[in-house]
């Protein structure tokens, strides 16, 4: 999907690159597949901010996405490709032969009128779902389950794809994650063939702060601009680093920048065959 540039008639238009939305075929969602979406403004049940930089934004409806794809051996036809304000990729409205409708993540190459199916004997084409045991090696996949029947969790955002690299005798499949990490999965876990659509999302340029506010993202203030009471890096005379250089740069919770936060003995470490590449 190409990005659209604008004539620099205003300062915000000078560097703005937005999606063209030319692949969108329907502008209103399927009413039966939407739910109300309440906003928290980043507050918990005590009214305290627990997630900063959230608040405001346009009102949304949540689209129910079928991440499990457990309607097996029933052919479905793609009725429309739609915009989803709750995720970076596009979604596809499909209707099964028995009349049931559902939303799925729209992979690259999926168009209106195409057919998709969740089946162990399905051909490996974009949008079809099957278990890892039946996917040809070297195939690009997305929406991968962490455990059988739990629903897709891995590689769901715009442009993401994982690659099935190998299978082991113990009932595990080796998958190369989008980060470069190689990880074991149970071969009974389901996945969807193809790469998630809207690949140019990472190249978008908002052009102005207002677009972030439409999305519910509030401004981020640097810690060095704050007072000592508000941030470990606050205070000092002029542009001082971390309170006059008396300590290292930190986050508001005391972490040094770049500190590892993953648990050392996390149980799922045993499924990681090769760590992701370090920057």
Q: Domain for residue 241, yes or no?
A: no
Task: Give the model's confidence band at 247: pLDDT under 50 very low, under 70 low, under 90 confident, else very high.
Answer: low
pLDDT band (50, 70, 90) for residue 242: low
Q: Are 117 and 74 in contact (CB under 8 A)?
A: yes
State how far Cα 78 lies from the chain centre. 22
79 inside domain: yes
Percent of the chain whose pLDDT exceeds 90: 83
Q: Which tokens in the block code for residue 155?
A: 């590689």
Would you state the pLDDT for residue 239?
82
Q: Give the percent of the chain with pLDDT over 70.
A: 97
Average of per-residue pLDDT across 118-126: 94
Please give the residue range of the domain that contains residue 132.
3-202
68: tokens are 């499990």
pLDDT at 246 over 60: no
Residue 1 near residue 198, CB atoms below 8 Å: yes
Q: What is the pLDDT of residue 253?
A: 87
* Residue 10 lies inside a defined structural domain of this protein: yes
Q: Name the residue among 66, 76, 83 with its Cα closest to residue 18.
A: 83
Residue 245 has pLDDT above 60, yes or no: no
Query: What does the block give as tokens for 69?
Result: 């794809």
In a domain, residue 254? The reply is no
Has this prediction a pTM greater than 0.85? yes
Q: Are 186 and 149 in contact (CB under 8 A)?
A: no
Is the residue at 214 inside a domain? Answer: no
pLDDT (tens digit per residue) in 37-63: 999 999 999 999 999 999 999 999 999
* For residue 217, pLDDT beyond 60: yes
Mean model confidence pLDDT for the chain: 93
Whether 35 is in a domain gets the answer yes
Q: Does 224 map to a domain?
A: no
Is 89:106 a contact under the CB 8 Å cutoff? yes
User: Of 197, 152, 150, 198, which is closest to residue 175 (Cα–Cα)?
Assistant: 152
DSSP codes joined into one string, 32-98: GGEEE----TTB-TTS-BSSTTB------EEE-B--S---BT--EEEEEEE--TTSSS-EEEEEETT
Region 206-221: what's the mean pLDDT?
96
Rounded Cα–Cα distance for residues 162 and 181 (Å): 10
Question: Per the structure, how many domains does the chain have?
Answer: 1
Q: Give the whole-angstrom CA distance, residue 51 versus residue 253.
A: 13
pLDDT value of position 87: 96
CATH number for the domain including 124?
2.40.50.140
Q: Answer yes or no: is 276 within a domain.
A: no
90-116 pLDDT, tens digit each? 999 999 999 999 999 999 999 999 999
Closest Cα partner for 118 from 100, 99, 136, 96?
A: 96
Quote the pLDDT of residue 2.
85
Determine the average pLDDT of the residues in 119-124.
Answer: 94
């Amino acid at each position: 999907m190409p990005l659209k540039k604008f004539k620099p008639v205003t300062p915000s238009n000078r560097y703005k690159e937005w999606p063209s939305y030319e692949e969108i075929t329907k502008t209103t969602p399927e009413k039966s597949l939407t739910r109300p979406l309440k906003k928290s403004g980043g507050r918990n049940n005590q009214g305290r901010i627990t997630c900063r930089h959230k608040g405001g934004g346009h009102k949304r409806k949540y689209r129910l996405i079928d991440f499990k794809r457990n309607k097996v051996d029933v052919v479905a036809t793609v009725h429309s490709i739609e915009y989803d304000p709750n995720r970076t990729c596009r979604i596809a409205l499909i209707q099964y032969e028995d009349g049931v409708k559902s939303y799925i993540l729209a992979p690259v190459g999926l168009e209106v009128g195409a057919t998709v199916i969740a089946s162990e004997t399905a051909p490996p084409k974009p949008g079809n779902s099957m278990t890892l045991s039946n996917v040809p090696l070297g195939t690009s996949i997305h929406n991968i389950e962490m455990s059988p029947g739990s629903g897709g969790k891995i590689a769901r955002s715009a442009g993401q794809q994982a690659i099935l690299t190998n299978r082991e005798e113990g009932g595990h499949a080796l998958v190369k994650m989008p980060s470069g990490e190689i990880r074991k999965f149970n071969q009974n876990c389901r996945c969807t063939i193809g790469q998630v659509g809207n690949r140019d999302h990472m190249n978008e340029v908002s052009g102005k702060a207002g677009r972030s506010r439409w999305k519910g993202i509030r401004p981020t203030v640097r810690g060095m601009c704050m007072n000592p009471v508000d941030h470990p890096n606050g205070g000092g005379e002029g542009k001082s680093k971390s309170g006059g250089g008396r300590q290292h740069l930190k986050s508001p919770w005391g972490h040094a920048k770049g500190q590892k936060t993953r648990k050392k003995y996390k149980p799922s470490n045993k499924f990681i065959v090769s760590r992701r590449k370090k920057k």
